[in-house]
Amino acid sequence: MNDTAPGNDVGPAADVGRWFSTATPAAGSTGRRGAPRLPAWGPMESSDYGLQSPPSELDAARDLLRGRPVAVLTGAGMSTGSGLPDYRGRDAVPRSPMTYQEFMGHDLARRRYWARSTVGWEQFNRARPGHAHQLLASLGRTLFATTAVITQNVDGLHQAAGSSPVLDLHGRLDRVRCQSCDTLSSRAALHARMLSMNPQLAARLPDLAADAAQAPDGDAEVDRTSSFRYPPCPLCGGILKPDVVFFGESARREVVASAFAALEQAQVLLVLGSSLTVQSGLRFVRAAGRQHKPVVILNDGPTRADPDATMRLHGRLEDVLEAWVTAVTRD
């Protein structure tokens, strides 16, 4: 179940901000070994952004979902209202994230990752559930029965909004996992420890974080912090890594198995805020098709599975979900 098959099936995003990206790709990059990679994230070229489905289509989709067990698959578009970036929407910033192989294979890469991550962590950690998260949690109690929210996001905002159960397909950024003994620990605790180990960066953290939030290359100065120190696992001395799926890494088998089980229990698959560019999300649409289950896709912009949708809705998530909540309340 590796998400790095050739072509478009690149793996999911470990970067939930602009702080963890690697080298900016050079014009004409060939992707050869040692050369800057082509951007894994960036806007999808399309004229489909900004379309609005008519109320009749929204009503038909709501009727299809009503009273049924529904598996919900969500992507980055769910969290843009919380200040977290989209990866392939019209405003996405092209960038190339660090791979699992880079992170595990090079001490300098880990220094660079953790330095950038330390700069970006507090801003990420301040994110709170947006209106879309709250509306989906409400619909899961009133319009349909949720077999699971299968999210490609790593921010934990569905749980904070009250959706249940939630399956974090790509992990959680607020956790750290030892790559040797598999022990989980708190990212917040690691953040505090790294600040104590790097007092010069800690003293400049507010300015560096402000720069990183303002522009994609705002953390360029952090790139030169090759002396950044990070701790090993306190239990076994192994390498600590965020508990998220990097490019070049596979999702955890038990989570994928639970997600497919939730789809089996569902009568409809609802996709919200995902371009379905990566295989890790697209495979659930394909599986629903093989099971002859309806697929409803709502996204502002094109998706890779548009031809596979039973109903393809266009519009802002917040607007459509709020219309459904209002209709349910009125009924």
Any idea which residues carry the catalytic annotation? 170
In sequence order, which residues have a C-beta less than 8 Å from that of residue 294 and are 6 or more positions away? Answer: 64, 267, 268, 269, 288, 310, 311
Pairing of strands 311-313, 295-298: parallel
Classify burial at 50, counting beta carbons within 10 Å of its beta carbon; exposed 0-12, middle 13-18, buried 19 or more. Answer: exposed
- Of the chain, the end-to-end C-alpha distance in Å amounts to 43
| Backbone φ and ψ of 298, nearest 5° | -120, 120
Q: 């409400």: which residue's tokens?
A: 138
What pairing do the DSSP bridges indicate for beta strands 268-272 and 295-298? parallel
Q: State the angle between helix axes of 131-142 and 317-330 in degrees (0 to 180), rounded to the nearest 10.
A: 30
Instruction: Tell me the C-alpha distance between 136 and 160, whole Å.
Output: 12
From CA 269, how far away is CA 280, in angstroms rounded? 15
